[in-house]
Amino acid sequence: MRLSQMLVPTTRETPAEAELVSHQLMLRAGLIRRLGSGLYTWMPMGLRVLQKITAIVREEMNRAGAQEVLMPSVHPAELWQASGRWEQMGSLMLRLKDRHKRDFCYGPTHEEVVTYHVKQDVRSWKQLPLNLYQIQTKFRDEIRPRFGLMRAREFIMKDAYSFHMDSADLAREYAGMRVAYQRIFDRLGVDYRIVQADTGDIGGTASEEFHVVAGAGEDLLAVSDGSDFAANIEAAACGTTLTRPEASQEAQDVATPGRSTCAAVAELLAIPLEQALKLVVVEGSDGNLVALALRGDHELNEIKAERHPAVAAPLQLAEGARIQSVFGCEPGFLGVRNCPVPVIADHAAAVLADFVCGANRHDFHTTGVNWGRDCPEPAVADLRNIAEGDPSPDGQGRIRFLRGIEVGHIFQLGDKYARAMELTVLDADGASVTPQMGCYGIGVSRIAAAVVEQCHDEQGIRWPQAIAPFALVICPIGMDRSEAVREAAERLYADAQAAGVEVLLDDRGLRPGVMFADSELLGIPHRVVIGDKALADDQYEYRHRSDSEAKRISSDHAALLDRIRAG
């Protein structure tokens, strides 16, 4: 392409609306433009990147034996009512009515739709297994759309759904998809991790996420320094290998005026934070309150908490006024002695002895508290986030945290949707069987942003060559003045095209500084500068986007283009 003919609205200024570097750079490089909250247009240069990502995803899905389909983005409400998710999706789902006042939604995902089609057309075990995928636009009315394409409302997903006669066959397909995903992310050229993921309400079957490692990632990943254990902290199980020491102190109330946090109390009493117990009071599943007890240095994991049968889902913190009326005291001074509500303690909190907690009395805490003696033994559960330095759940090494951007998710769903939508097929003996399902998502548009987040420097984007909008940019200096420069540039441009190298010719006639700045901002891997001086020695100036300096190279096109094709 000739740059003079492309709409590439680059800017020098950092857009105020963009917090993340990837968002700033994608706007500055003119790859995307905002239309509304969480809505973006792919401009010509950006679309080239998106199409490269899409092509890699499609090739690897096809290689793995999945079949491409394309389902509508607008879905009749009945399908979602049948699965129970019309209600459950809440305001994440954009709903609309047609001219007959019938309800529809804009699809946030496609389990219902694909299951509907399989139910229509698949009757026999002979038609399974089946893996159907699409690369398609989703709409989710996210509470906080932000970071550009990273958390958009309209975005592009590759979603695949597989159907199997039994769970062993589902496990086989899941393993195959995992390999396909590894091939995809290897080819994209990014640093990524596969982590154990939360399985949501669906149950204990396998689920893993693929994360691009980046400091700005929204997800915390717990990885072991002594094994390949890696989990999203949402999902990382934590027990304890410790046992509770003997009680050695008497329980005693002490004045702690104005000290309503564990940290403040620990400081006042000069005790380690882990000897303080905090209570988080939440709504219980029976309509009464429940107190969750955690060590002062630990954090509540909301997903684990709301999965406890005694706790209401979604998790709801008790309101201050309700706590005041039930405990006779405000939050900040709550404790387990004479606690008016049932207590569930995290494993690590349940092995404390002689701990400090609120006295259920304004401005007082109790020291030397012991479970079983000063209060009933609590129910015990895994309620907390794993912490850095904790032993790895697989027993090897210690946990450290990484930040990641979720770009893929693979999931063994079991028969949840097939059952809800009454999908059955006949097995070899003519008996009716509910198929097992898997689903496999990739955030295609999010990948573009995640790659920029990982691959950039002060000057701009550094696309891995596999998804760069162009492999080579030619910057002729003084093209309008020098016939020799023009002729060489045109010849390299033509040779590159003939050699199948995707090439951009900067024929805008701008100053070298502007051309260089744009080529660096756009992140094109190879740059050739053609100027009169070097040309007199039959040379060009060459710089790879990751080189610190340009160097002179011979103007032998064949050798140059071979090198560029090789990556």
Q: How many of the chain's residues bind Mg ion (CB under 5 A)?
A: 1
State the minimum distance, in angstroms, from the CB of residue 212 to ligand ATP. 9
d(Cα 327, Cα 289) in Å, to the nearest integer? 10
Of the pair 145, 460, the CB lying nearest Mg ion is at 145
What angle is formed at CA 277 by the lines to CA 275 and CA 283, rounded to 5 degrees? 165
CB 540 to ligand ATP: min, Å = 40
- For residue 417, the minimal CB distance to ligand ATP (Å) is 14
- Are residues 199 and 234 in contact, defined by beta-carbon separation less than 8 angstroms? no
| Contact partner, 295, from Mg ion, ligand ATP, none, Cβ < 5-8 Å per class | none
Binds 331: which of Mg ion, ligand ATP, none (CB < 5-8 Å by kind): none
Nearer to Mg ion, 17 or 218 (CB): 218
**CA 555 distance to own-chain centroid:** 45
The answer to the question of residue 138 lying near Mg ion (CB under 5 A) is no
Nearer to Mg ion, 47 or 202 (CB): 202
Q: 525 near 52, Cβ under 8 Å?
A: no
Binding of residue 151 to Mg ion (CB under 5 A): no
At 22, give phi and psi (nearest 5°).
-60, -40
**C-alpha to C-alpha distance for 315 and 295, rounded to whole angstroms:** 19
Torsion-angle region of 478 (φ positive above 0: left; ψ -120 to 50: alpha; else: beta): left
Question: What's the closest the beta carbon of residue 303 comes to ligand ATP, in angstroms?
Answer: 11
Q: State which residue, 10 or 137, has the beta carbon closest to Mg ion.
A: 137
- Whole-angstrom Cα distance, residue 425 to residue 300? 43
CA distance 94 to 209: 26
465 binds, among ligand ATP, Mg ion, none (CB under 5 to 8 A by kind): none
Contact between 136 and ligand ATP (CB under 6 A)? no
Interface with Mg ion, residue 211, by CB under 5 A:
no
Which of 20, 132, 152, 188 forms a contact with ligand ATP (CB under 6 A)?
152
Interface with ligand ATP, residue 178, by CB under 6 A: no
Q: Decide if 152 contacts 22 (C-beta within 8 A).
A: no
Minimum CB separation from Mg ion for residue 209, in Å? 6
Using the minimum distance from each CB to ligand ATP, give the nearer residue, 43 or 265.
43
> Which residues inside 419-478 make contact with ligand ATP, applying CB under 6 A?
441, 443, 445-446
75, 178, 308, 409: which one binds ligand ATP (CB under 6 A): 409
Asked if residue 148 binds ligand ATP (CB under 6 A), the reply is: no
| Strands annotated E in 371-467 | 379-381, 399-414, 425-426, 432-433, 436-443, 456-457, 460-461
543 binds, among ligand ATP, Mg ion, none (CB under 5 to 8 A by kind): none
How far is Cα 80 from Cα 84, in angstroms, rounded to an integer? 6
Q: Smallest distance from the beta carbon of 500 to ligand ATP, in angstroms?
A: 31
Give per-residue burial for 97-113: e unless 16+ CB within 10 Å, then b. Answer: eeeeeeebbbbbbbbbb
Q: Is there binding between residue 155 and ligand ATP (CB under 6 A)?
A: yes
- Three-class DSSP category at 164: strand
Q: Pick from 148, 358, 378, 408: which binds ligand ATP (CB under 6 A)?
A: 408
Q: How far is the CB of 443 from Mg ion (least distance, A)?
A: 9
Round to whole Å and give the CA distance between 84 and 417.
10
Closest approach, Cβ 406 to ligand ATP, in A, equals: 4
User: Does 409 participate in binding Mg ion (rule CB under 5 A)?
Assistant: yes
Binding partner at 348 among ligand ATP, Mg ion, none, C-beta below 5 to 8 Å by kind: none
Q: Give every CB contact of residue 29 below 8 A, 6+ residues apart in sequence.
A: 8, 10, 45, 46, 460, 461, 521, 522, 523
| Binds ligand ATP by CB under 6 A, chosen from 59, 122, 136, 142 | 142
Considering the complex, state which of residue 335 and residue 443 has its C-beta at the smaller distance from ligand ATP: 443
10 Å CB burial of residue 171 (0-12, 13-18, 19+) is: middle
* CB-based contact 213:406 (threshold 8 Å): no
Instruction: Work out how close the CB of 152 gets to ligand ATP at its nearest, in angstroms, rounded to a whole number.
Output: 4
Residues 36-95 binding ligand ATP (CB under 6 A) are none
Residues that bind ligand ATP (rule: CB under 6 A) add up to a total of 15
Least distance in angstroms from the C-beta of 107 to ligand ATP = 12
Q: Is 307 in the site for ligand ATP (CB under 6 A)?
A: no
For the CB of residue 65, give the shortest distance to ligand ATP in the complex, in Å: 21
Phi, psi of 416 (to 5 degrees): -50, -55
In angstroms, the CA 534 to CA 540 distance is 6
CB count in 10 Å sphere of residue 121: 9
Q: Which stretch binds ligand ATP (CB under 6 A): 23-31, 253-261, 336-344, 400-408?
A: 400-408
158 lies in the binding site for Mg ion (CB under 5 A): no
Tell me the two tokens of residue 535: 């040309």
3-state helix, strand, coil in the chain (%, to 5): 30, 30, 40
343-346 and 289-295 beta bridge pairing: parallel
* Contact residues for ligand ATP, defined by CB under 6 A: 109, 140, 142, 151-152, 155, 157, 406-409, 441, 443, 445-446
* Contact residues for Mg ion, defined by CB under 5 A: 409
